[in-house]
Chain A
Amino acid sequence: DQQVKQNSPSLSVQEGRISILNCDYTNSMFDYFLWYKKYPAEGPTFLISISSIKDKNEDGRFTVFLNKSAKHLSLHIVPSQPGDSAVYFCAASGGAQKLVFGQGTRLTINP
């Protein structure tokens, strides 16, 4: 049972435009959500997070939106840069320390 789902395995965006990555979850006990970025042969790097008491968190070019009623979160990157090309994972946590990850979305920024 996939509790965290990223339904788009890949996304291609023009440099300078907005990248929007989506994530859905099924477990209503999740109360903390994170986005990680991963390059090949490296471990995930933390990008941004959001608590369930908020619906938006912004950090520079990265903004995460949370819609609790829809059990949906999204990551917006604007403007997109070539260095943003990577695999992005959303993850969720619910009280316990464990993280549950989505399948990842491969983002490609085209020059």
Chain B
Amino acid sequence: GAVVSQHPSRVICKSGTSVKIECRSLDFQATTMFWYRQFPKQSLMLRATSNEGSKATYEQGVEKDKFLINHASLTLSTLTVTSAHPEDSSFYICSATDRGDQPHHFGDGTRLSIL
């Protein structure tokens, strides 16, 4: 089946630093990738949609300059949390799809902890 690899699985860093999270589709070409954020015991909240070769689309309330997304190839999308602060601490999960087909395939997530 389709495999999505997300790296790193866990990040702990100081407030003010920038953190990059990678999402790779290993055995298919992902024309679209999605970035979610999940708070404890809550739903997965879509934060942005990343299309290969074009600008990302952000959900309402998401700061574009804080959550930078790059989808430079059909197998890789990156999310950079710039100048991270403790309130950015969360579980971030990416998913990928080929030509928008369902189901979307998810990475294992990144636990981000900002001290």
CB atoms of B43 and A102 under 8 A apart? yes
The answer, yes or no, to whether B19 is at the interface (CB within 8 Å) is no
Q: A42-B108, A43-B4, A97-B97 are in contact. Are A103 and B42 (CB under 8 A)?
A: yes
CB atoms of A49 and B41 under 8 A apart? no
**Most chain B beta carbons < 10 A, residue from A43, A45, A98, A104:** A43
Q: Tell me the count of chain B residues lying within 8 A, CB to CB, of chain A.
A: 25
> Total number of A-B contacts with CB less than 8 angstroms?
58
Against B, the Cβ 8 Å flags (1 = close, 0 = not) of A18-50 are 000000000000001010100001111110010
Q: Which of B67-75, B78-86, B99-107 contacts A (4 or more CB under 8 A)?
A: B99-107
Q: Tell me the count of chain A residues lying within 8 A, CB to CB, of chain B.
A: 23
CB atoms of A43 and B6 under 8 A apart? yes
Against A, the Cβ 8 Å flags (1 = close, 0 = not) of B21-35 are 000000000001010
Query: Interface of A with B (CB < 8 Å)?
Result: 2, 4, 9, 32, 34, 36, 41-46, 49, 89, 93, 97-104
